């Protein structure tokens, strides 16, 4: 029981790291950024390369975050921003195309097989109540907490964060009030892509594997999470990630025969949307 609870939290934390970035992008640009999953996989690969060369996990995380920030910025600047005036489905399809493109690029560059990403930490595993916690899981919990706290602090306490909030509420009004929209959007993509990169590295070391298709399931699942959380609401997304992480772990542990893990998120999402079309924590529009 405690073990399942713990596993659920870990899964949920990883989901939260990915989904928060997606919800931030949606909050500002109103684009369903499916290529965010490609940024996530890119982070895992950059992290692996950096770790192989330097042997330092901290440097690997920094390299992944930096590389993905650049990637996220390029996507935003040269793909999304020019098509903001188009119909809403256009950027969505562009994003899907970019995701397919990146996934294949990773396959061609990194090989179609699984690469190990083995990181030795300061201890192997510890017993906690009646459960066993690995060092990787502790690291994931700490990293998630730090990342989410940083995002929270930046958004609620800094001037740029205030501008972010204003832009999320109403971009045109914010622009009229003198907010530098371009700066806000850039900042938004850098934060979102950095945490996706960190999530990529964390997922990779947690399962000791990096592979080109590691983003394909998460690319749809993160949408279910973001929708559950009410699209654009950061606290909602975090809670939804934990709910999905928990229910997946518990469902597959206790009723594994009803449905496969990956369908749970979508079933929950469809049911909740029918009852509450604005999402679990969304404001009615």
Beta carbon nearer to other proteins, 134 or 186: 186
231 near other proteins, judged by CB under 8 A = yes
Which x/- pattern, by CB under 8 A, does the window 108-127 give for other proteins? x-------------------
Which x/- pattern, by CB under 8 A, does the window 190-229 give for other proteins? ------------------------------x--xx--x--
Beta carbon nearer to other proteins, 94 or 140: 94
Q: Which stretch binds other proteins (CB under 8 A): 75-83, 149-157, 198-206, 234-242?
A: 75-83
20 near other proteins, judged by CB under 8 A = no
Q: Which of 58, 90, 121, 177 binds other proteins (CB under 8 A)?
A: 90
- CA–CA separation, 273 and 279 (whole Å): 6
Q: Is 115 helix (H, G, I), strand (E, B) or coil?
A: strand
CA distances from 258 to 70, 217, 254 (A): 42, 19, 10
Q: What is the DSSP string of 199-244?
A: HHHHHHHHHT-B-GGGGHHHHHHHHHHHHHTTSS-HHHHHHHHHHH
Q: Which of 57, 59, 66, 96 binds other proteins (CB under 8 A)?
A: 96
In 3D space, the residue among 165, 206, 150 whose CA is nearest the CA of residue 6 turns out to be: 206
| Angle (CA) 256 260 266, round 5° | 125
Rg of the chain over CA atoms, in angstroms? 19
248 near other proteins, judged by CB under 8 A = no
Q: Which stretch binds other proteins (CB under 8 A): 6-14, 91-99, 153-161, 178-186?
A: 91-99
274 near other proteins, judged by CB under 8 A = yes
Q: Is 262 helix (H, G, I), strand (E, B) or coil?
A: helix
Contact 235, 225 (CB under 8 A): no
Contact 185, 28 (CB under 8 A): yes
Instruction: Report, in Å, the least distance between residue 269 CB and other proteins.
Output: 6
Interface with other proteins (CB under 8 A): 26, 30, 32, 79, 82-94, 96-105, 108, 220, 223-224, 227, 231, 259-260, 262-263, 266-267, 269-270, 273-274, 277, 279
């Amino acid at each position: 029981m405690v073990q399942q609870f713990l596993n659920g939290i870990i899964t949920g934390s990883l989901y939260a790291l990915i989904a928060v970035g997606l919800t931030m992008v949606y909050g500002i640009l109103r684009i369903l950024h499916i290529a965010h999953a490609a940024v996530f996989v890119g982070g895992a690969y950059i992290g692996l390369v950096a770790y192989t060369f330097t042997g330092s996990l901290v440097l690997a995380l920094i390299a992944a975050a930096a590389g993905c920030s650049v990637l996220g910025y390029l996507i935003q600047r040269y793909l999304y921003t020019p098509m903001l005036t188009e119909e809403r489905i256009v950027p969505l399809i562009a994003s899907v195309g970019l995701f397919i493109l990146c996934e294949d690029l990773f396959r061609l560059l990194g090989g179609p097989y699984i690469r190990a990403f083995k990181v030795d930490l300061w201890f192997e595993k510890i017993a906690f109540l009646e459960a066993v916690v690995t060092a990787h899981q502790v690291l994931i919990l700490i990293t998630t907490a730090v990342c989410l706290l940083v995002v929270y602090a930046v958004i609620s306490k800094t001037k740029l964060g205030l501008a972010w909030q204003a832009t999320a509420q109403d971009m045109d009004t914010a622009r009229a009030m003198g907010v530098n929209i371009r700066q806000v959007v850039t900042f938004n993509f850098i934060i979102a892509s950095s945490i996706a990169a960190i999530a990529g590295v964390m997922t990779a070391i947690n399962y000791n594997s990096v592979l080109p298709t590691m983003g394909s399931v998460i690319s749809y699942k993160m949408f279910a999470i973001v929708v559950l959380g009410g699209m654009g609401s950061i606290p909602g997304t975090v809670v939804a990630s934990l709910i999905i992480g928990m229910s997946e772990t518990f469902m597959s542990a206790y009723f594994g025969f009803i449905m496969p893990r990956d369908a749970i998120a979508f079933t929950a999402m469809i049911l909740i949307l029918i009852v509450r079309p604005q999402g679990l924590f969304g404001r009615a529009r």
